[in-house]
Structure 1
Amino acid sequence: MVERPGMRLIEGGTFTMGSEAFYPEEAPLRRVKVDSFWIDEAPVTNAQFAAFVEATGYVTVAEIEPDPKDYPGMLPGMDRAGSLVFQKTAGPVDMADASNWWHFTFGACWKHPLGPGSSIDGIEDHPVVHVAYADAEAYAKWAGKDLPTEAEFEYAARGGLDGSEFSWGDELAPEGRMMANYWQGLFPFANQCLDGWERTSPVRNFPPNGYGLYDMIGNTWEWTCDWWADKPLTPQRKSACCAISNPRGGKLKDSFDPSQPAMRIGRKVIKGGSHLCAANYCQRYRPAARHPEMVDTATTHIGFRCVVRP
């Protein structure tokens, strides 16, 4: 068999996908079968993405000025290149308003993750961030790879522990051990940093799961190639022997955000949670967790990894 450095071969199989214990979009539990595939051991790093940019001259979405025609109601002066940067608040805030901690920062991009004046010097081994879906897709194509489906990602993230809440078992911090980079404390103002990191951390910094994969949970959310659907595909017959084979997500036309009817920008599924997931805000540091993200969105907590299908 051809060896693929930096990747792991995940043998195909059947597993229980989803959860009925946390968020409604994760339900129902369903049996899913996936074929064998290779997946990157860790998220794509700043150093790897820099090599891609150097080889191709690629310019990311966050580095391009947005066209006001694509964004009805855009405020004057906002048609400048930039990206969303997380800023910790001074104290408790309205948790229903994410603008309290997310700030569109002009000049923020993958090589200036906190905005002008910041750089990736010293964090070359951290996951690349501020990558929109097209950026991740372009890198994958250049590398001769693809982006994972939602089912492939979840199957790999579980590491062979079918039905467990986390990639490592059913306890978030077994015997107090930090198993992933997530927010410990009250989000968005009090991070205890028990895991040692305020923001992203080097890939492979935490223990691998049962498949030898790192950072499948926490650190950064990761793009999948599936369009978002509020309710995932389920078997037509509710029987233990029935499983959906290699499911794909919804359709572009059904992926739009109903709360923004004028914004016709599709949403993809992101998986894995990030360093901003916390017990009091976003318990999505689990394999079953899923979230919709507009394909043009770039932030300080979204990255990606690639797959190769035999």
Structure 2
Amino acid sequence: MANGGQLAVKDGWVYMNPYLWSEGAHQLVKSKPDGSSRTKLSDDKATSINMVGDWLYYVASEPSKPNAIYKIKTDGTERTLVSQTNASGLWVRDGWMYYHRLAERSGNENAPYYTPGGIERMRMDSSEKQTLLSSMDHIKYFFLQGERLYYLIGEGEKKKLYVMGNNGSGQTELRDNVTEISIIDGWIYYVRDGKQLRKMSGDGSIDIPLHESARTPIFGLNYRDGWVYYVSGSFGVSGYASMERIRLDGTGRQALAEARATALYIAEDQLYFPYWSIGDRTMYHMKIKDPQP
């Protein structure tokens, strides 16, 4: 979810939006991890895809209801509008929907744009809404782990990492100059200054450096079987970044492939990545090879 939620995995199926395009048709589909048995579920431009039982919850953009929350059965039936709340970064956990509340900003009245204005949560049946963090500009994303909610505030490499209870209580600053985070086995894996991959204990008292990259920034953190996967480098209009992995203790770093990858997702033995091209992100995947002994 911290990588945008363009893909989710459950019970041997991949649910994803394979074409996150600025223009043109979109689809919400399901397939096997190797790409076989692909089936269209809807024509939604879906992001923040969450699995909840037999339902997918996600954010979809439509002209009449921008960034509304929908749900649909995993077989493509019973597509339902859950809330017209203008939202992004949706996490669905324990009966609540957590999301960025988007605020409309000034601009062309025919093409308004939105920025995060705070963090809210809403009951899955929309019966109750709570503001957890209000009027905070420059929220990059938040990461929900158990009863804790981690979030980044700021711009560029000057972001600060905070933690609070999932009810909005006890807001605490943990680190500054943080650009990416992931929570693995109770440890916070994070990127500092765009180039240092580090990990720290949940309360911040222990901090261990793992890797410093000459190709910056490091982003797209994900985890599988004792390895942290990430993208290192920038690509812009031309060029490629490196998709890499490193063991949880910082050893055994391996470069996997070069690509214009904007995020990383893992489905069994497949590494999925949105391939960027002039603003469009098309999903590709490759088999993850076992490390050499």
TM-score normalized by structure 2? 0.24
Higher relative contact order structure (alpha carbons within 8 Å, sequence separation ≥ 6): 1
> Higher strand fraction: Structure 1 or Structure 2?
2
> Higher helix fraction: Structure 1 or Structure 2?
1
TM-score normalized by structure 1? 0.23
